[in-house]
Amino acid sequence: MLNLGPQHPAAHGVLRVLMTMDGEWITKAEPVIGYIHRMHEKMGENRTWAQFLPNTSRIDYLSAMHYTHAFVGAVERAAKIEVPARAEYVRVITSELNRISSHLVWWGAMLLDLGGFTPILYAFEDREKILDLLEGLCGARLTYCYYRFGGLCNDVDDEFLNGTRTFVKEMRPRLGMYRNLVTDNIILRKRLTGVGPISAELCRKYGATGPVIRGSGVPYDVRTVEPYSVYPKFDFKIPIYQEGDSMARYLVRMDEMEQSLRIIEQALDNLPAGPFMGKVPRVLKLPPGDTCYAVEAARGRFMVRIVSDGKDTPYRLKLRTPSFCNLSLYEEASRGMILPDALAMLGSLDLVIPDIDR
């Protein structure tokens, strides 16, 4: 019995995995979660709709913009609040920047798990540029609370727009450098190819989404299958790889960073002028009933289901997080794997434990 304890350099946060071993091979790996469970869903019931906004950033702090987007979108859908076009474009720009910064953390951390100590420093150097841009925009480096019901907290300024253009220009050659340094590296190829195969059927049965299901050949991306915001206006590809192994999931995320740069460029070129905030009633009370809103977060499908009884606080707030469902297949998928391969697969699932525990 081997305990990959909650404090562990490769456990991506406070994740505990109870592994029953046969030598170096795993016979059973049972994740134990709950070490960072803060009960956001109960907090949702005790706060007004607007008071819950800071909580949304803390569910998955690495891709906080997406989570705020889903909650704000759900309330706007239920209350039929119109969002002006400029606000939607800025939401897309900031969400895609957040996706890149989240994938950079994943990339650095996963390679750290595999034993490569250098790439995380390069990744964080690029990530610092994104964090500086977003800090200048909304004041926060990690747990942004930038979206409001009906639009944004404040408008973008030229400093942000010019800085983002510069970042996109500088990031493309960096991605090329990552490809030469790491992706085409024989050691990485040998560590990840064929490791941790996940079939499309397994993904469907467990509800795994995001790069996990796209690395198994299924073109499921909430931005194209259930379009929201202004994503239909942009021309971007959804990277799909058929092999279903850790290398496929790795390549999906590397390609997604390129596609995010494309989306940001198109949004910057077509950014409409106008107001950044729509009309919102002073005291927000939603009609009784339930509403869902799903976004493609950096890790997969994040869905918010709000149940309202007409008051100014939610009656029930369900947060369906991608990492919870992505980890649930680990027990079945890791049977019979050797330990280093199991850790490589855990890294390729891109887990953020606060996302699992909420």
Partner 1 sequence: MNATLELVAERLSQLIGQTAVPSRPPMPVSANLAASTASFVSGPVQAVDHALKGYDLDVSVPPGLVVLAARILDNAGFGIDAVTGVDWMAQGEMEIVYDYFHPSSSSRVAVRTRVSRADPELPTISAVFPGANWHERETHDFFGIRFLGHPNLAPFLLPEDADFHPLRKDYKP
How many CB atoms are closer than 10 A to CB 118? 12
Work out the burial of residue 258: count CB atoms within 10 Å of its CB; fewer than 13 is exposed, 13-18 middle, 19 or more buried: middle
Q: Is 253 in the site for partner 1 (CB under 8 A)?
A: no
State how far the Cα of 290 lies from the Cα of 74, in Å rounded to an integer.
Answer: 10
Q: Give kind and range of the element (H or E) at residue 303.
A: strand 300-308
Name which position in 104, 325, 346, 349 contacts partner 1 (CB under 8 A): 325
Min separation Cβ 90 and partner 1, Å: 22
Name which position in 195, 293, 337, 345 contacts partner 1 (CB under 8 A): 293
Stretch that binds partner 1, among 89-97, 123-131, 319-327, 336-344 (CB under 8 A): 319-327
Name which position in 5, 54, 194, 207 contacts partner 1 (CB under 8 A): 207
Name which position in 169, 179, 316, 335 contacts partner 1 (CB under 8 A): 316
- Between 87 and 208, name the residue whose CB sits nearer to partner 1: 208
Name which position in 29, 74, 75, 87 contacts partner 1 (CB under 8 A): 74
Work out the burial of residue 46: count CB atoms within 10 Å of its CB; fewer than 13 is exposed, 13-18 middle, 19 or more buried: exposed
Phi and psi at 200, nearest 5°, equal: -65, -35
- Name, in order, each residue with C-beta under 8 angstroms of 354's C-beta and a sequence gap of 6 or more: 13, 36, 38, 58, 59, 60, 61
Provide the 3-class DSSP secondary structure of residue 20: strand
Distance between start and end Cα atoms, the chain: 28
272's tokens: 């409409």
Min separation Cβ 332 and partner 1, Å: 7
Name which position in 97, 198, 280, 294 contacts partner 1 (CB under 8 A): 294
Helices 246-269 and 158-178 cross at an angle (nearest 10°) of: 150
Name which position in 58, 61, 328, 339 contacts partner 1 (CB under 8 A): 328
Q: Is 77 in the site for partner 1 (CB under 8 A)?
A: yes
Name which position in 52, 178, 220, 276 contacts partner 1 (CB under 8 A): 220
Interior angle at CA 135, CA 153 and CA 274, nearest 5? 35
Q: Is 289 in the site for partner 1 (CB under 8 A)?
A: yes
Min separation Cβ 291 and partner 1, Å: 6
Q: Is 205 in the site for partner 1 (CB under 8 A)?
A: yes
Strand-pair partners of 293: 304
Min separation Cβ 82 and partner 1, Å: 13
- Between 77 and 233, name the residue whose CB sits nearer to partner 1: 77
Q: How many residues does the chain have?
A: 358
Got the DSSP string for 120-188? HHHHHHHHHHHHHHHHHHHS-SSS---EETTEESS---HHHHHHHHHHHHHHHHHHHHHIIIIIT-HHH
Min separation Cβ 203 and partner 1, Å: 7
- By CB under 8 A, the count of residues binding partner 1 is 45
Task: Please state, in angstroms and as integers, the Cα–Cα distance from residue 237 to each residue in 172, 263, 270, following that order.
Answer: 16, 10, 19
Min separation Cβ 11 and partner 1, Å: 17
Among residue numbers 18 through 57, which ones bind partner 1 (CB under 8 A)? 33-34, 37, 39, 41-42, 45
Chain positions contacting partner 1, by CB under 8 A? 33-34, 37, 39, 41-42, 45, 74, 77, 200, 203-209, 213, 218-220, 225-226, 288-294, 301, 303, 305, 307, 315-316, 318, 320, 324-325, 328-329, 332, 357-358
